[in-house]
Structure 1
């Protein structure tokens, strides 16, 4: 039942989530119409994300927390295990044109870490696209639960253990608390603070802002 619900609303090819992702790709291509000629660094993403892309960059480097990276990457794609808030110093100056990050900054942990993440974005390339779910959209996207983000921690942990649309059910109370603490959604003011030179775009669903995107076109 849970997988049926998630497929219908979040993950299936005809789900509401899939339609929203297609609209986001349209926004992305409008912001960077020359994507196929760019060198891109993706902070926190995966190659699977780019496999679904309608257009791919000329060169792609991925930094994420996976312990093992894929073995069968194309020649123009590289991936490494690393901290998106503290990338290797030698990545700065590697002539990346664009930093891309989708639904990562809300997971890095605390304002100090988010500031380091934003600094890394600015240092790595002259252009960027940083997307994050909007705190004040009524449906929390990770749990697909109305108002989840506004509940006390105790209530969030209890829901994390029981909510039918949770992707991976936590094993025990401590894991549920850790899962609930691992997501800190951002509002427009914080995004503007972190990316003062960027345009903050609103991705809408049913007329409401669903996610925020810091875009610097260069």
Structure 2
């Protein structure tokens, strides 16, 4: 088991992993798309303070909205609130930002109606955005590192999660595994174009295959 966990770390979690290199390229691409980022106010829907603290770039201000409570000791340039990004409180909805950022969140919000609410929030908060999501038809499901996992029946996905050692948070409990499997709904390019019709759709690739999809809007 420990050997297999080390394998996950090698591919996803370790500083020199394939996942870490992909994240570094994504940050560089993000900074290239928004060269004035250092003067911008950014709202991050579903992100974490730790991701921004590790990032090689720093906006002037970052406002994080997440369902999980943030750490207590945040730097002055980061603000964090516990809220649902699909149903934001009025004070957040009434604030204008320079940019909305979201990384691998829209596939977790739960169904078409809530994805549309999420996209509506993105459009309402700022005139610029960067919304990234893993691509449904990449052959390896990125959350669970299992080939074709997203195409299997729920029962099969549940049983795989109870036994597959490369899962980020393993569980042997059937109900817990089912909940984890049901939480992720990967999106197609067509769906991303539906939710972000005025955005430029860009692709991240691995070995020539589309790995993730980014809805990008750079200019008001």
Structure 2 partner of 1:141: 142
Structure 2 partner of 1:6: 8
Structure 1 residue ranges, 4+ long, deviating more than 6 angstroms after superposition: none
Work out the CA distance in 2 between the residues paired with 1:32 and 1:187.
25
Q: Does 1:51 align with 2:53?
A: yes
Question: Normalising to structure 2: TM-score of the pair?
Answer: 0.96
RMSD of aligned alpha carbons:
0.9
Structure 1 partner of 2:164: 163
Work out the CA distance in 2 between the residues paired with 1:212 and 1:200.
7
Work out the CA distance in 2 between the residues paired with 1:93 and 1:158.
44
Equivalenced residue count is 217
Displacement, 1:171?
Answer: 4.2
Work out the CA distance in 2 between the residues paired with 1:95 and 1:119.
14
User: What is the CA deviation profile of residues 34-90 of structure 1, one whole-angstrom value per residue up to 9, with x for unaligned ones?
Assistant: 111100000000010101111111011000011x32111111211010001111122
User: What is the CA deviation profile of residues 82-103 of structure 1, one whole-angstrom value per residue up to 9, with x for unaligned ones?
Assistant: 0011111222342310000000
Structure 2 partner of 1:38: 40
Structure 2 partner of 1:27: 29
Work out the CA distance in 2 between the residues paired with 1:114 and 1:104.
10
1:1-218 matched pairs, under 5 angstroms: 1-66=3-68, 68-218=69-219
- Structure 1 unaligned regions, length at least 5: none
Work out the CA distance in 2 between the residues paired with 1:12 and 1:49.
14
1:40–1:98 Cα contact (<8 Å) kept: yes
Q: Which moved more, 1:10-19 or 1:87-96?
A: 87-96
Displacement, 1:133?
Answer: 0.2
Q: What SS class does the counterpart of residue 59 from structure 2 fall into?
A: coil
1:135–1:187 Cα contact (<8 Å) kept: yes
Work out the CA distance in 1 between the residues paired with 2:216 and 2:205.
16
1:170–1:179 Cα contact (<8 Å) kept: no
1:40–1:99 Cα contact (<8 Å) kept: yes
